[in-house]
Every structure is written in structure tokens, then in C-alpha cells.
């Protein structure tokens, strides 16, 4: 892979850590208006990551400005497409919770947050990006083009 086309794999993991904390807060807030608004903010964050890539999200910018300068260079760069797809999966999950929440189905808010939290926490803690793995599976089966 061309190193200039890749991203530092630690960036999406840091972003997942921040997102996991925010999603945990939504779960703790439960079926409340505050939980709905926080999930809406998270959904918009996923939208930004989907449109600009994880490195273009506000979490990615925090990583680039404050964390990466304090680290050595990454051992290898990562293809930006799987993390970007993972952002789209997070967008879908949180959008379902937000839409249902705005239609009065407030229990959907902490449920959607819990589902997204599991994925974000797995990425943050052990580096397992479920959305990235889904992207790779879809690519192998021909559902996504390279």
C-alpha cells in the first residue's frame, strides 16, 4: 500500500475511545431527552466521519493535533476505506436510534447507543473494528468494490 494514501491506525482507535465514552453516557442517560440529544450529536459525528473519513472527524482532528505528535511513527499505515465504512455503520445504527427517539420511541435511544457502544469499545480496547471487518467481508464477497 502507498503510505501516503493510508492513515495512522491509532487515530480511529482513539476516535473509538472517545465515542465509546459518549455512547456510555447515552446508555446511562437512558430514554431521556438529554440522551436523545447526545445521541444526535454522536450521529452527526459519524456523519462527518462518513463524509470525510475518520481522520477528518473531530475525533480524528483531536488525534492529529494533540496525540499523534507525542507518538512515534506508526509501524504501518492502514487503508482508510474500512474505517470510513465503519463510520457509516455507526451512522446507520445511531440514526435509527435518533429517528425512533424523535418519533417518541425513546427506549430506542439507549438500545442504539448500547449496540454502537459495543462496537466502539471493542475497537478502543482490543483494536477489533467490527465495521472494518464487515467492509472486508463484503469486499471478499463482491458486495463492495475495491
Of the candidates 68, 22, 25, 11, the residue with the CA atom closest to the CA atom of residue 45: 22
* Position 144 confidence tier, pLDDT thresholds 50, 70, 90: confident
* CA–CA gap between residue 140 and residue 135 (Å, rounded): 9
Q: Note whether 93 and 112 are within 8 A (CB).
A: yes
What mean pLDDT is reported for the chain?
95
* 30: its cell numbers: 437512558
- Stated pTM of the model: 0.92
Cα 45 to Cα 40: distance, rounded to the nearest angstrom: 9
CA distance 113 to 124: 16
- Tens digit of each residue's pLDDT (9 = 90 or more) over 58-76: 999 999 999 999 999 999 9
Scanning the structure block, which residue is given the C-alpha cell 427506549? 107
**Confidence band (pLDDT; 50, 70, 90) for 145?**
confident
Distance CA 9, CA 18 (A): 15
Could you tell me the three cell numbers for 40?
A: 444526535
Amino acid at each position: 500500500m502507498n503510505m501516503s494514501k493510508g492513515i495512522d491506525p491509532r487515530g480511529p482507535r482513539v476516535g473509538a475511545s472517545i465515542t465509546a465514552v459518549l455512547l456510555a453516557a447515552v446508555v446511562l442517560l437512558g430514554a431521556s431527552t438529554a440522551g436523545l440529544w447526545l445521541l444526535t450529536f454522536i450521529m452527526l459525528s459519524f456523519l462527518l466521519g462518513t463524509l470525510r473519513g475518520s481522520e477528518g472527524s473531530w475525533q480524528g482532528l483531536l488525534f492529529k493535533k494533540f496525540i499523534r505528535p507525542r507518538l512515534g511513527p506508526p509501524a504501518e499505515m492502514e487503508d482508510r476505506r474500512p474505517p470510513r465504512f465503519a463510520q457509516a455503520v455507526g451512522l446507520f445504527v445511531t440514526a435509527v436510534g435518533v429517528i425512533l427517539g424523535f418519533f417518541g420511541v425513546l427506549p430506542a435511544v439507549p438500545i442504539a447507543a448500547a449496540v454502537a457502544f459495543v462496537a466502539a469499545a471493542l475497537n478502543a480496547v482490543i483494536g477489533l473494528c467490527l465495521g472494518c471487518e464487515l467492509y472486508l467481508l463484503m469486499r471478499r464477497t463482491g458486495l463492495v468494490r475495491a
